[in-house]
Amino acid sequence: MISKNIKSLVFLLTVFFVSAVNGSSNINETVNQAGQLAKYQGEILIRQDQKSKPQLINESGAFLHIGNQLRTQENSEAFIRWIDGSKIVMKEKSQLSINAIDYLNVDNGSVIFDIAKIQRPKPVRVGVKLAILGIRGTKFIVVNEGKNYNVYLKEGDITITSLSEDFKIYKNQIESQMRQFREQFEREAKQFKSELKSDFEAFKKETEMGQAELVNEFKLIESTGIEISDGILTLVPIPREIDEQFNLLDSF
């Protein structure tokens, strides 16, 4: 009789221990959950952490967690809903690392972001080569290829901070580009003319200190892009084919 009671007790304790371990695992997964793969096309690889091997995702709805690394293969795209309501689209041959809910890294390729406009204690951060983008409620695209990278800002606010040497900005080139952008904005967005003019005047004032100015931080204004190559920051227009990619954010 005693032997039976002991066996029953051992069995119950074993069941309790296994349940507790599984419950703890589920809680940790929920706490670390960052987003969900809403849909995809082609082949998408995921690494659970830096030590694990990439695995092929075979169904939509997969949950993404802090520490994961996502990679799209050739002719593939991933459409992601973030836990805060943001949207992310990864174009082909892109890689995205999830460092935290509010800190992602575009390791390479082209990634489109629509950051949800909600109250935040600090800006969302997106890392690229030797720089951090600080974002508040923004639609933008990061293209990180080779030694150069581009950031195209559709709307919102982005501050780009260098993690190494300061960016070099050439005053004459910036002023020429500002004139071109001003003409373009006046043609295509008259209703925002006064606001854009104010932004340009403030930006121009910041670049009047010399032929070339070194800056650690740079604020990008709406409807423009930048290219950073070898530490030199250049304003660039948003190409039509890039601008059209923002429409992908409305597809899910």
| DSSP per-residue string spanning 171-238 | HHHHHHHHHHHHHHHHHH-GGGHHHHHHHHHHHHHHTTT-SEEEESEEEEPTTEEEEEETTEEEEE--
| Whole-number pLDDT of residue 43 | 98
| Whole-number pLDDT of residue 210 | 46
Start-to-end Cα distance in the chain: 63
A 10 A CB-CB count for 183 gives 10
| Whole-number pLDDT of residue 86 | 97
User: Hey, CA dihedral for 180, 172, 134, 78, is it positive or negative?
Assistant: positive
CATH number of 34-166+216-250: 2.60.120.1440
Answer yes or no: is pLDDT of 176 > 80: no
Q: Which two tokens stand for residue 189?
A: 């967005």
- Provide CB contacts within 8 A for 72, sequence distance 6+: 40, 42, 43, 44, 45, 78, 90, 91, 92, 93, 94, 95, 109
| Whole-number pLDDT of residue 198 | 62
CA angle 28, 117, 130 (to 5 degrees): 70
Mean pLDDT over all residues of the chain?
A: 82
| DSSP per-residue string spanning 129-155 | TTEEEEEEEEEEEEEEETTEEEEEEEE
Answer yes or no: is pLDDT of 77 > 80: yes
pLDDT per residue over 198-239, tens digit each? 666 655 554 544 456 788 998 888 899 999 988 888 888 999
| Whole-number pLDDT of residue 164 | 84
What residues does each domain of the chain span? 1-31, 34-166+216-250
| Whole-number pLDDT of residue 167 | 87
| Whole-number pLDDT of residue 212 | 62
| Whole-number pLDDT of residue 225 | 93
Q: What is the pTM of this model?
A: 0.75
Q: Which two tokens stand for residue 91?
A: 């174009």
Backbone angles phi, psi at 48, to 5 degrees: -70, -35
| Whole-number pLDDT of residue 197 | 62
